[in-house]
Structure formats: C-alpha cells, structure tokens
Amino acid sequence: MTLVLAGVSVLACAAEDEHGNDQSPTSSEPSAASPEEPAVTPYRPTVSNPADLSAPGWLEAELGGQRSYNEDRSRNDSVPWVLKYAFDENHGLLLGGGGYVSAQAPGAPSQASFGDTYLEWKQRFPVSDTAAFGIEAGVVAPTATHNLGAGKAQWLVNGIFSTGASKVGAETPARPTFPSSIRQA
C-alpha cells in the first residue's frame, strides 16, 4: 500500500518580466496571476508523466512525499524532487531524485540517505491538439548510500502517450530502466 504524504509544485520565472519594472498593485485587492503567466505542468513520477513539458523559459520545481507499507511489514519513505526546464514546447531537461529515502525492515534499524539523482532529456511529439507521444531518456547517478539506491550508474528510458480534452488526460508510461552493465562491450 502506498500513501502519498504531500506534493508541491512551484514556478520560477527564468525570463525578463514583460510588464516593466512597476510591481505596485493598482488596487487594494490582492493581485491575481496574469493571464500571460503559464500554468504549472504537474508530473506524477511514481505513477506517470505527461508528454507535455513545462512552459518554455520557466523553471518549474516539484517536491513530494511518499510512504509505502509492504506486505512483510517493512516500510519505505521518500521525498522525491524534480526541476523541469523546457527550451520550447517540445524539448526540455529534467533534473531530479530522492531528496530523502529510508527503509526499515521489521525488527531492524532504519537506514536513511539522500536518494539517487537523475538527469533526463525530454522530447514531445505532438499528434493532435489533445494527444502526444513523448520520450524521456537519461542517466541515474548512484548518489544514495546504505544500499537505498541503484548502487551503480543506470540508463533510463520512458516512453509516453498522453491524451485528453482540456487539462484532463491519461498517460500510458513505459518505464524500462537499463543498468549500465548491459552496455558492456
């Protein structure tokens, strides 16, 4: 059983403000987001990612939490994070990993560490206004300790098909992970 504890998504502007330098409000009411500010593109890395990328030129960050209770009464905790940057609507980079991972077997002390880190190239292939294929390809760096991660560098490839009307959609991921040892000559 997996229990998602928390999830946060944040946008940070990577480009100049097109509205000038005057940041003073024009009324006493709280200011709303400009219609020109892009919406966030949330990913669900433990479930699936859409083929869509973040708004081009904006840095988007996500942080979440997950706790898993296993059949053998062991427990796993993680705090995944990801930074997303799109160069345009079809090309981008993802940098992420486990900010914190832990495992506890029944009757044994828990082990905790910073998790593995990954870097991925993401490419979107639009099929229509509401459907797209996507691919994420990259490398996992073994930054976790205490046998809580991959233990060695790994290649990873995710195939994606996303479809939906408006902002409601369904993703079908294919998540093979290729250990670097299969590339030995």
**Where in the chain are the domains?**
2-12+44-183
Query: Considering the entire predicted model, what is its pTM?
Result: 0.70
Residue (of 25, 19, 55, 50) closest to 40 by Cα position: 55
d(Cα 20, Cα 185) in Å, to the nearest integer?
57
pLDDT given at position 12: 47
d(Cα 8, Cα 81) in Å, to the nearest integer?
9
The secondary structure element, H or E, covering residue 89 is: none
Residue (of 58, 78, 68, 76) closest to 9 by Cα position: 58
* DSSP bridge partners of 118: 96, 140
pLDDT tens, residue order, the chain (185 aa): 434 433 444 444 444 444 444 444 444 444 455 667 888 888 876 567 889 999 999 999 999 998 999 999 999 999 999 999 999 999 999 999 999 999 999 988 999 999 999 999 999 999 999 999 999 999 999 999 988 999 999 999 999 999 875 444 444 444 444 444 433 33
pLDDT given at position 68: 92
d(Cα 139, Cα 109) in Å, to the nearest integer?
31
pLDDT given at position 146: 84
User: CA neighbours within 13 Å on the CB side: how many for 28?
Assistant: 0
